[in-house]
Amino acid sequence: MTELPARRLLLVHAHPDDESINNGATMAKYTAEGAHVTLVTCTLGERGEVIPPELRHLTGPALGAHRRGELDAALAALGVTDGRLLGGAGRYGDSGMTGLADNDDPGCFWQADVDEAAGRLAEVILEVRPQVVVTYDDNGGYGHPDHVQAHRVTMRAVDLAAERGHRIAKVYWNRVPRTVAEAAFARLQDELAALPFDKSAALDDVPGVVDDERITTTIDGSAHGAAKAAAMRAHATQIEVAEPYFALSNELAQPLFTTEYYELVRGTGQRGETDLFAGVEEAS
C-alpha cells in the first residue's frame, strides 16, 4: 500500500446516504485539503424506501446494488476515493426501522455480534491508521437499529485497535446544536411555500440535535456546499434536494447544513475547535 497522507480521517455510517447528509461538507473539505478520508458503510440499505416512482421496483438485494452505485457517485462528488463496506458487500443486511420484524433477521446488522463486526472494522483502522474517527452517539442519532449498532461497533473497534497498537487520537460524534437547528427551521417555515415540499419536518426529525454546550467542534464547509448537495443528489432513491433544503421519503423538508458540528468524546481538545485534527500529532 502506498504511503498515506499525514492526516487521516475515518468515518463510520450505517447506510449509503448517511455520510452525505451528516458529513458531506466535512469529507469534501478534508479531501480537498489533502487529508486521507476513509468511509466505512455498514449496510447497503436494502430496506430503504424509494422516492422516484420509476425506481420503486427495486427491493432487497437489487436495491442494495443500486444504492451501492449511488454511494460510489456520492463519494466521487466529495472527492473521496477510499470507501469500504464493512466485511464486504452484503456481509451485513439492513435491519429496517425500529420495532419491525426485519430487526430479527439473523443476517441483519442489528443481529451481528458486536465483537466480530468490530474486529472487521479494527482491521480497517489498523490498515489506514487514522488519527480521527467520526460516528454516531449511543442512540445512533435518532434510534435506528443500524445507527445504534454502528456506534457500538465503532467504539469497540477503537478499543480493539488500541489493544493491537494503534490508538485513535480523537473520536467524535455527529451533532447539530439546538439553536442552529431552531433557526434553520424558522427560515424553512418562511420559505416553505416556494419549495417542492408541502410540509416541514420537525426538529426531532434531525439526528443528533443537542444543547449547544455539547458542541466542541464546528467545521465550516460552506465552500464545499455544492459538493455536499451533489453527493446528496447522487442518492436519488433516498433524497430529494432543493437547496438549502432536502427531503427524505417522508417528503418533509428539512435544512441542508453546510456547517457541520461534532462532539469530542475521546481524546484531548477544547470547546470551540474548528478543525477535527486540532492538537493531533500527524506522524502518529
Instruction: Give me the CATH topology for the region 8-266.
Output: Rossmann fold (3.40.50)
Residue 173: all three cell numbers together: 460524534
At 284 the pLDDT is 52
Distances (CA, A) of 110 to 54, 60, 61, 92: 30, 17, 17, 9
At 232 the pLDDT is 98
* Mean pLDDT of the residues in the chain: 96
Beta bridge partners of 45: none
- φ, ψ for residue 234, nearest 5 deg: -60, -25
Burial, 267: exposed, middle or buried (Cβ in 10 Å; 0-12, 13-18, 19+)? middle
Residue 18 is assigned to a ligand binding site: yes
How large is the average pLDDT for residues 48-61? 97
Burial, 193: exposed, middle or buried (Cβ in 10 Å; 0-12, 13-18, 19+)? exposed
- φ, ψ for residue 76, nearest 5 deg: -60, -40
Residue 224 is assigned to a ligand binding site: no
Residue 235 is assigned to a ligand binding site: no
> What percent of the chain has pLDDT above 70?
98
Q: How is residue 208 annotated by DSSP?
A: T
What residue spans define the domains of the chain?
8-266
